[in-house]
Structure 1
Amino acid sequence: MSPIPLLTPARRDALLAVLALVLLVAPIWAPMLHLGDPADRYERALVTAENGTIEYANESKLRTDIPISTEIVCTEPFMRSRGCFFEYYLAEGHTISTGIWSSNPDYAPLPSFERYRYAAVNGSVYEIARDVNESVQNDEGLYRVELALDPEPADEVLRSVSVSAERVPSPVRRAAERGTATSHREIEVPETPVRLADGTYYRVYEAGKTDPSNLAGLLDGIVRYSFPFLGLALVGYLRSRFEVRYVGES
């Protein structure tokens, strides 16, 4: 007995009917393709920890308002925050009293919350700290607590504030790996460097909008407006090949 052909006339017509239905509802699923929609474009900037500090490898190609990390103050290429001037003052050897005193030379009783953890000033990287000045005591024998900066290795700080490429949205990962990427949906870009598997660091940032190409716009019009007519044509072709019967009570 010869085998039954895989695509019989009945199966072929059934597939054509499904295709006709898909074409008829093209205006519903076409927007999911984003053929004629603008996209958010993301780019990267190389971050290095050379010469004892953390900086962009090539600042001339960057926007001037993008800090390397929100956890490191004073990393904006040209714009400096008020906290940056404050940390520069401490890095020059000055001290600032907090008005708080401690009975324990090894304990500085200050709130642990900080807006940032590190400062990159004077070509070095420091951790935001507070020290107990044992040389200054009040009448009660308490030691004065002062704001301070503690030097830290730049490479360790950069790794500490970075996020692995495996933990970021896929457009951000693609931008870090390839140099640029686009996305049609709103995503959250980490405000800190992305760490790749090869040990390099890139700060990914939104670089504007990308307009659709003329070809994409043409395809979008074809899908939205021409596909339904093709679906109607298929329905007309299949009308003579299907017979619909109502089987109910006699």
Structure 2
Amino acid sequence: MVKKPRRQIAYVSLLGITQLHLRNPFIIAWWSAAFPGFGHLLLSKYFRGFLLIGWEMVINSQMHLNEAMVYTFIGQFEQAKAIIDLHWMSFYAPVYLFSIYDCYRTSLDLNLNFILAKRENAPIDVFKIGCMEINYLDKRSPWVAIVWSMLMPGMGQLYTNRILNAFFLLANWVVISYLAHLLDGLQYLFMWDLTRSVSVVEMKWLLFLPSIYGFAIYDAYVNTVEYNKLFDREQARLLESNYQHPHFRFPESPLLK
């Protein structure tokens, strides 16, 4: 009887590849602090991540937090105090802190599960085909993923076939850019009409965009690197099981750790 592994190190589906790999809990917690929900997306906990991102946008816009931050940055503290709506503050802080804590705790747990799954050396399904999509495990360039993400957030995720993240980031970028009047502001900025450029944009939406932009680049780069490691690990397992003598142990490459 063949013993079935208790844990999967990766799952390949038509919508993307979900895998376990070592993550720095502090980096995951930092992304969650920068924007609640981003840390969970990095952990492939999509439902929770999408829920927290939607919550952040709704509560933040209702309490005018971004606008208060702008007034604080330029030293207009009285304006910041006047514009912020404290009725929403009690909803914001507990969920914000939970998001950071949950990401940190989950990162530690998933790191332990990755170590155990790696020891079990479970097989990886590398090819999926369906009527709407084809997905397969192969090597791709992290720098190409960065370039596409810089041109348009979400395109780097499409490059690595992470359909859920790609659609979510693309949709958010388009909708928030429209609400913030980003293109109008850029047009006046290129015409060197700085006063009109500042007046036309909506700051409560504009301040969401740097976080989304930076996250799209980081997420595309990290996952492309980890997919390449997964590809190397799967190839090594295939060669070992089919061609390597069972009593010969070849030193493990640092890339596969």
TM-score (norm 1): 0.24
Instruction: Indicate the structure (1 or 2) with the bigger Cα radius of gyration.
Output: 1
- Structure in which a larger fraction of residues adopt helix: 2
Whose relative contact order is higher, 1 or 2, with alpha carbons under 8 Å and at least 6 apart? 1
